[in-house]
Structure 1
Amino acid sequence: MAMDTGEPSSFKVGASPISQNSYLKENRFTCKLCQAGFLRSYHLKRHLKIHSGEKPYSCQICGSAFTRNFGLKLHVRTHTGEKPYCCDVCNSEFSDCSALRLHKRTHTGEKPYSCKVCGSAFTTSSNLKIHMRTHTGEKPFSCQECGTTFSRKSILKTHMRTHTGEKPYSCRICGSAFKNNSNLINHLRTHTGEKPYPCEVCGSAFSERSRMKTHLRTHTGEKPYSCQVCGSAFSENSGLKIHMRTHTGQKPFSCEVCGCAFSHNSSFKEHMRLHTGEKPYSCKICGSAFARNYCLRKHIKIHTDGERT
């Protein structure tokens, strides 16, 4: 019978004294605040600065402060432009070795961080952490203006521009400005005519992936947006949003001339033509013009019905 030595049960018979020593030392210094374990006392001391908020290393250029001298050293390179780490595949340069290591995975295809729920793989642990929120529903970033929460800090940053009105991405062709870069990219396709997202069913092409996905529902009949009041279903969230106004009575589009209010923007635009006199719908047969499309359709019947008689 093996003698009970009092050692941890994870030790294997025949383990060397060196490996046992390493195990005992591994958690020799423990943080009382979060229970993290360290091999050396100075590692614990450095870790405690995370809890205390102490940042003794300051940048003499911009005043940014850091808990470690190493962090300051990396930061200074943002001012000097120094990039001492070079990719041997594409010659891209980086300010720190960890950034180079992550970059190399774009060449190797390595994705060492896997989701245990769905199996999706990622190049960085931070990307995996963000992905996990799609499963947990966690949204740790909250807007201080309206309380809306988000799963990513970058999405919150973009959302804040709805409050500030900031539009830092500008079109060089027409000057239109946008809250985020993806909206600018989509907008540029209105100038180039590029439509990189084709429908696999009918071949129709779209400038945005989201519009292609919405279009596909005309083939599948999918209507994922349902009214919780009456059960009506819609292929687009915007359709549901407009429909909800039939229940709430909300009319957010108001005429500044006469005060009439409308639930649909299209109805509001048609109404405004009564004041402006604009008649954009013209009959190709006789040239008569109308403010509303349905009035033109009704008028055309005068010509078509006359042809039948």
Structure 2
Amino acid sequence: MSKFTELKTISCTICGSSFTKKSNLNSHMRIHSGEKPFSCEVCEASFSRKQHFMTHMLIHTGDKPFSCEICQTSFAAKATLISHLRTHTGEKPFRCEICESSFTQKSNLTKHIRVHTGEAPFSCEICSSSFSEKSNLTKHIQRHTGEKRLPCEICGSLFSDKSNLTNHMRIHTGEKPFCCEICESAFAQKSSLKRHMRIHTADEAFSCEICGSSFTEKSNLTKHVRIHTGEKPFSCDVCGSSFLRKQHFTIHMRIHTGEKPFSCEICNFAFSAKSRLKKHMCKHTGEKQFFCKTCRSEFTTEKNLKEHMKKHTDHKAC
């Protein structure tokens, strides 16, 4: 018999995946059963695989045995070091076969593929909303529970997860760690940098089938389509007003609640919308945001610009 006879495989009775070892099949079955037999005695986190449990334990011991030879950053897991090294080399070995986008980690490719397939495997048991990423489901559930455990030490604002707190802290520190390599613009959030980069790449992947308008983000296309359909999904339970965008609905609700969360630091005047505070600040700073396209005159308020524009229209009428 040949030394390289075909290996006998064992198949999963639920999804059909095949394995050469029973131990691998047993580990795989925990995906379906949800079983997590490896528990941390320190924080009670549980895991389906021993390898993941061992990596987790390094969080508590503080042991980071894997170091980057380029920047000396240390990591608890070798896999994390390998992923980190790609930030230095620029290597993106995981490529999407549909749009050819490339990624440094396989998990990011998996998440990206769901943009094309529309798959949203993580469902909320309370309202049945579905999400493509588990982290988004976790954030969503906190909206139901109202749980916010992480406070800002400067202003006392509470946040449901560490990433939101980190982003918020940049408001106080002014830190903008995400820089554009083309024009050197800097941003507080990575998502803002990604949106900005599309200005340089002219990447407008989402097109309106009705009028042909193109958008760099799917969410902006969704909002745009409502102009054609007339859909106003955000309704006020108090007065019945409906809105195209959630942002406009949120601002409207403050009419009923009286909430004015945006305050002027100079005169303490408060506003229900950030845009109104911005306009108000121009009175203090003298900044002129509005300009006439006809004669290039500048104005601090839109109202003053409109009054000015009448001069041009009246002149044409004569």
Q: Normalized against structure 1, the TM-score is what?
A: 0.54
Structure 2: segments with no counterpart, 5+ residues: 181-185, 200-212, 243-250, 261-268, 272-279, 284-302, 308-318
Offset at 1:82? 2.0
Tell me, yes or no, if structure 1 residue 136 matches structure 2 residue 117: yes
Provide the residue aligned with 2:240 in structure 1: 250
Aligned to 1:138, the other structure's residue is in SS state coil
CA offset digits 1:236-284 (Å, max 9, x no partner): xxxx667x77xx96159xxxxxxxxxx94576589x9xxxxx9x99xx9
Distance 1:91 1:138, change over 3 A: same
- Matched with 2:18 is 37
- Which residue number in structure 1 is paired with residue 137 of structure 2? 156
- Kindly indicate whether residue 66 of structure 2 is the aligned counterpart of residue 76 of structure 1: no
Instruction: State the shift of 1:137 in Å.
Output: 1.4
| 178 and 29 in structure 1: CA distance in 2 versus 1, 3 angstrom threshold | closer
Is the contact between residue 9 and residue 18 of structure 2 (CA under 8 Å) also seen in structure 1?
A: yes
- Range with greater deviation from structure 2 (27-36 or 101-110): 27-36
Correspondences of 1:79-228 after superposition (within 5 Å): 79-179=60-160, 181-182=163-164, 185=167, 188-189=170-171, 192=174, 209=192, 224=221, 225-226=223-224
- 8 Å contact from structure 1 (residues 169, 184) kept in 2: no
1:9 aligns with none
Determine what percentage of the aligned residue pairs are the same residue: 34
Contact 1:55 1:68 survives alignment (8 Å): yes
Report if aligned partners of 2:167, 2:188 keep a CA contact under 8 Å in 1: no
Cα pair distance change 1:53/1:267, threshold 3 Å: closer
- 1:159-215 CA-to-partner distances (Å, cap 9, x unmatched) read 222222233443333223344534763574377498x999xxxxxx998849x98xx
RMSD: 5.1
Q: Structure 2 vs 1, CA of residues 177 and 231 (structure 1 numbering), >3 Å: closer, same or farther?
A: same
Alpha-carbon contact 2:96-2:109 (below 8 Å) kept: yes
Q: Which amino acid aligns with 1:110?
A: E
Q: 1:226 to 1:73 in 2, by over 3 A?
A: closer
Q: Secondary structure at the match of 1:127?
A: helix
Q: Residues of 2 paired with 1:221 and 1:49: CA distance? A: 43
- TM-score, structure 2 normalization: 0.52
Q: CA separation of 1:69/1:116 partners in 2, compared to 1, >3 Å: closer, same or farther?
A: closer
Q: Partners of 2:214 and 2:14 in 1: how far apart?
A: 55
Say if 1:151 and 1:144 are closer, same or farther in 2 by CA, change over 3 A. Answer: same
User: 3-state DSSP class of the match of 1:116?
Assistant: coil
Query: How many residue pairs are counted as aligned between the two chains?
Result: 233
Question: What are the residue-to-residue correspondences of 1:231-246 with 2, within 5 Å?
Answer: none
Cα distance in structure 1, aligned partners of 2:13 and 2:117: 29
**What secondary structure, in the 3-state scheme, does the structure 1 residue paired with 2:109 have?**
helix
> Cα distance, 1:30 vs. partner?
4.0
Structure 1 stretches lacking a partner, 5+ long: 1-16, 199-204, 234-239, 253-262, 273-277, 285-295, 301-309
Q: Which residue of 2 aligns with 1:304?
A: none
- Separation of aligned partners in 1, 2:164 and 2:39: 36
Partner of 1:4: none
**C-alpha displacement at 1:156, in angstroms?**
1.5
Separation (CA, whole Å) in 2 of partners of 1:98 and 1:197: 26
How far apart are residue 81 of structure 1 and its match?
2.1
1:141–1:56: structure 2 CA closer, same or farther, 3 Å change rule? closer
